[in-house]
Amino acid sequence: MSDRLFIFDTTLRDGEQVPGCQLNTVEKIEVAKALEELGVDVIEAGFPVSSPGDFNSVVEISKAVTWPTICALTRAVENDIRVAADALQYAKHKRIHTGIGTSDYHIKYKFNSNRDDILERAIACVKYAKRFVEDVQFYAEDAGRTDNEYLARVVEAVIKAGATVVNIPDTTGYCLPSQFGEKIQYLMEHVDGIHKVTIATHCHNDLGMATANTMSGVMLGARQAEVTINGIGERAGNTSLEEVAMICRSHKELGIDTNLNTTKLYGISRMVSSLMNMPVQPNKAIVGRNAFAHSSGIHQDGVLKNRESYEIIDPKDVGVDENSIVLTARSGRAALKHRLHVLGIELDKEALDKAYEGFLRLADKKKEINDDDVLLLAGEHHKATRRLKLDFLQVTSGVGVKSVASIGLDIAGEKFEACASGNGPVDAAITAIKQIIHRRMLVKEFLIQAISKGSNDIGKVHMTVEYEGNTYYGFSANTDIVAASAEAFIDAINKFVN
């Protein structure tokens, strides 16, 4: 019999803290349903007190999914806990995740307090949360840098106060795997009552050790792993769900298994990447586009003779079916609908019709349509309600001549046109837009990325625009990178003019 490792997914809470990756409630529900199909045990749906949007998302996700536990984050503050309890009212299985920093760094500099006071606050927040729900998870923030003896005192106290899960986060990603594993082992050996609760890991990737630290903790007694799809999260990110899942599946000698349907990993990875406008790096373990690619002749020969010569994972085990990824202009509406279903996207007839129209236009420009292209097409219907839309764009550019752009915008049904020159075609297009939108806007960051490869490929543009001291993020994708750049700029503008 295998030990069960519970998967706690925080894509919709910690993952969404990445700048520019915020989702609306409809998109969060879409991800939550996909996480339920994947088989995650706990979905951390948000931090309800932080905003009305987060509160509403927790409410709606609680209604939308059935069997996973829905978790809401709080600080060790009574109002946070009350608000979280209200947000969880419709959840079939509910959990409040509350806690406080326990390292000397947090105690001294964040709270201007002392160890005894922090211990009392930890006990109090768990007892208060217990008034509203039976399932209370406590987090010892910055446990990675907390003295083990003091950490053990805190953990023992919150267990006696009623905590059912205790989270040991390496908040700064500082620990070495051996250190983090020893910390979990120390707690397992020195905390009275620890075997009555579940110990959780929550590791960050600042030094590239999140997954290694998580597995070290799991091997020494932790039985809940806090993870995100694609490893997204604050700063350098969190532990990747897909990596933990496939480590457990590949290393059967560990005797540790999850409830995950790993064939859903590829689809949900692409869904989250598309919705959050955050590309998956090509060499990303498990779900990167090069994860199962072999360019070396020696490797190719070995794989052809026996896949296990160089692949420890069958691509189909994570949902990568090499025979079904590519669509062409000859692929019909049913093929597109099926591919969207495989990727976890369900569109109504009107949205599917629009996606198919876009698919045919794109198929005229590209010989092959891959999954990333399909997901971008599926997301296009969200643009229909935007106030600012690009009507047309014409650019003249070349070597030894000044770039000139003519642009037309539709602003709430009214048409505007402008023409401008610039230092290159993108600069000319943005300058022309600024002539119509009379606001002091500054492009702070501009990134163009090809989704796969080839000169006819889609270019995805990420743009950061500063306006009145606030930062807005714009995204677009197009086979024409100048058009994609203009659309990304317009996307950012839409977020502060609506």
Retrieve residue 373's tokens: 């292209």
CB atoms within 10 A of CB 391: 12
Retrieve residue 220's tokens: 């020494």
pLDDT, averaged in runs of 10, over the chain (498 residues): 88 87 88 97 97 94 97 98 98 98 96 97 98 98 98 98 98 98 98 97 98 98 98 95 97 96 94 86 88 51 51 85 62 81 78 84 75 72 70 92 94 93 94 93 85 65 89 85 92 81
Q: What is the pLDDT of residue 303?
A: 43
Question: How does strand 224-227 pair with strand 414-422?
Answer: unpaired
265-275 and 25-38 helices cross at what angle (nearest 10)? 170
Write the DSSP symbol of residue 281.
P
d(CA 121, CA 126): 9
Taking a C-beta distance cutoff of 8 angstroms, is the pair 254, 219 a contact? yes
- 247, 194, 189: which is closest to 218 by C-alpha? 247
Taking a C-beta distance cutoff of 8 angstroms, is the pair 183, 219 a contact? no
* 191 backbone dihedrals φ, ψ, rounded to 5°: -105, 120
Q: Which residues contact 418 (CB under 8 A, 6 or more apart)?
A: 406, 407, 432, 433, 435, 436
Taking a C-beta distance cutoff of 8 angstroms, is the pair 372, 458 a contact? yes
Q: Is 253 helix (H, G, I), strand (E, B) or coil?
A: helix
d(CA 376, CA 124): 47
Q: What is the pLDDT of residue 332?
A: 80
Return the amino acid letter for 190.
Answer: H
Q: What is the pLDDT of residue 374?
A: 78
* 17 backbone dihedrals φ, ψ, rounded to 5°: -80, -5
